[in-house]
Amino acid sequence: MYQEEQSFNLRFSLEAQFPDEYDGEDDEMVWLKEWESQVKPEIIKSIFQTLERHPGWTARFRNRGMAATDEIEIVIEKSYSDPSLN
């Protein structure tokens, strides 16, 4: 089977800003825990839901050995094997 590939990166840089009187990690990085437990899962879910609305496109996770807190790779494939999906 012939296959073509292209990469696209969508990178999130997370920042939290605090008042000048803030003293280090007083909040135990609650903002990061919120990202990991609520925001990031919703973003990932929306990617898969969007692709479900486009026949012929599928998505799956690929693990490249990095922690999911640092990187999530989603392989998005367009299949031309079944002409009814194109």
Q: Is residue 45 within 8 Å of residue 59, measured between CB atoms? A: no
Per residue in 39-82, pLDDT tens? 999 999 999 999 999 988 999 999 888 999 999 999 999 988 76
Residue-wise pLDDT for 6-33, tens only, equals 999 999 999 999 898 887 777 888 999 9
Q: Which of 67, 73, 71, 76 is nearest to 48 (CA)?
A: 76
Q: Where are the domains of the chain?
A: 30-78
